Structure 1
């Protein structure tokens, strides 16, 4: 499948390229992280939800809507509840060990690239990790202020000999083929910009311009749990969420079929939020991992290093 995607990219066929990309990405998530395989979700009225809550398989219940009455105080539509239950059996087309290995192997190569390449040939005092995910990272690079933001690691190399020797093992180069750019276990640049606002993994806004002068040009907006096309959000929403500590809610529409009748349910979701339940967010915006017996007060912030980096304008690079 990887070779097929490389072929269609060479042919500049964007539709087939996205199709093959979705197949590759879903090969792991469909089997290993698809909660629909391990949960049974049902929509019920109050009586049905109460009965299912008494079962041992019950996990959670969420109220979706209230009772609707007409002018004569007659019940038009009952309140709806979403009930999650644990299923006793499920079918998996691939071994779960394969999905677990894929997840852990990606983390291994992630660290391998950071410690065996970046740390050895790049001046890490001029590189800041803005955000990291399973197989992607977002770097703020303090390079040349004269050249544009599409400069990559060119001006932060500390060991040019080591970089020239191992560069092609990890990163693409000029005039390389699609197969060389999309090689397995390799790194490629997906997008670049002048600024980035990172709220959480897979929740960020990459943009050019200055938010103080309202000349922002949004390049990439990503959020978790909400489709970007349905949630019309701008970079200013990300900046507002980060600076004011507020939530940005959007309304999503979902179709539901019950008793042969299809209805549309409007649900309000928090597309952007300043709450993070997976890692500590420190006072300077850096993220630190959870550790047993360690809280946010135990982390020390080097204010001198932070002020030195703030004086330089970085370029943002997303690698994947």
Structure 2
């Protein structure tokens, strides 16, 4: 086997297709297929399940993926050490919705200014998906709004976020502003984020601290997309709990009303997620340094 074959295999796994891997590698699809087939012949097993919809890894494929990514990471470190810029690879970052949409763009701008020849791919998913990408080495680093797996990952806070109840900007909700949120929230229609979302997990923990059983709420919709949630709230579908980062523009414009959660607050950390046993590239370390420099972790507490 050789590194070209392993790289083709890894790209097929990441893209879930041979054609997608071919586009990323600037190779023909038959060439990518031949590389993977050669690996399968040499190892004596099937690595990729092929179907008309997508390519998925077999159990043996998942096992090889872990080793292959490590070998490619070593190759990248060698290239970077000796200044082989023509061999630059794409830095893959998996991030849940809030950091992907509201924190990373600023870091990307600084990174682009300092390292204009580097390439970055942001994989927007939920917190559970971001952790999965890091653990399976489909992303070098991740960002989540909650802590899900403390056994295998390192979570490093990079931003202190605040959650608040968000409602339509109507007279009804203005009249509730002076009342304890716990007294009226259980009687309102609720819009929740999807399962696996860091915001949802932190919302449920927050409600329990407020003495509200999440299971007792009248959940009228479960929505994945932040923009859809905001428009649904503005249209009167229900109320929600949301990061202040996500709703800052609408709150300033008066189209949505924010109800802070008082002195105890709905605070949670946005975390950098790392696999401690994974050899990260210098590019990944540079991006991490920029994020820490901008947000400073404890500086936002």
Which TM-score band applies after superposition, normalised by the shorter structure?
under 0.3
Of Structure 1 and Structure 2, the greater helix share is in 2
When Rg is computed on C-alpha atoms for both structures, the one with the higher figure is 1
Q: TM-score, normalised by structure 1?
A: 0.22
Instruction: Return the TM-score normalized by structure 2.
Output: 0.23
Instruction: Select the structure that is richer in strand.
Output: 1
